[in-house]
Structure 1
Amino acid sequence: MSEQELFDKVHAELFKKGSCSVNKWILIKISDKNKVALFEAMVPSRGNIRIRKPLKFQRKNGESKEIWLYQSFRFGNKKNLIDDGLIEDIRQ
């Protein structure tokens, strides 16, 4: 699947109900042939659509919060994927 096809599928999934919440991560499942991709996507208040894939779960010093390490990407103006690096976030 090309980056433009991925962008079209993510965009269609985010706006499936007509509108999309801003700054809220949404779990997306995309099937292509016999492969399935699971990741989270969001539309920020400024900028382009972002996607992230969870890599690792960690808990720091007995905290009750679940901290995840994510590989983060964003779509550029030409519907290409740009690597944003690794980020830590709390899954809600």
Structure 2
Amino acid sequence: MTDKKDFADSIRQKLEDWDYQLDRLTARLGDKRDEWREEAKQRIADIEERRDALEAKLEKLESHGEDAWQDIKAGVELAWDGLKTGLLAARSEFEDGK
């Protein structure tokens, strides 16, 4: 297995885990006040956009040869950090009972 494949597999696994977390967070929105629910829906939409951007970068990484993947890796890592930060912030805010 190549480093590129290992890296891509790792990010794909993280995406699956975060998809599950995002689904759980979305399902729990019904328990919150209407005004908070609308704000949370907007934050979730932002997170979903970040997730889709990460998926696109990951597909780009997977389609490039071994020589080019290191250049794309930094963008994938940056997109992952943005997705992770957004979801952790939303989950923290949600759990604080805003």
Q: Same fold (TM over 0.5)?
A: no
TM-score (norm: length of structure 2):
0.29
Identify which of structures 1 and 2 has the higher relative contact order when contacts are C-alpha pairs closer than 8 Å and 6+ apart: 2
Larger radius of gyration between Structure 1 and Structure 2: 2
TM, length-normalised to structure 1: 0.31
Question: Which structure dedicates a bigger proportion of its chain to strand?
Answer: 1
Larger proportion of helix:
2
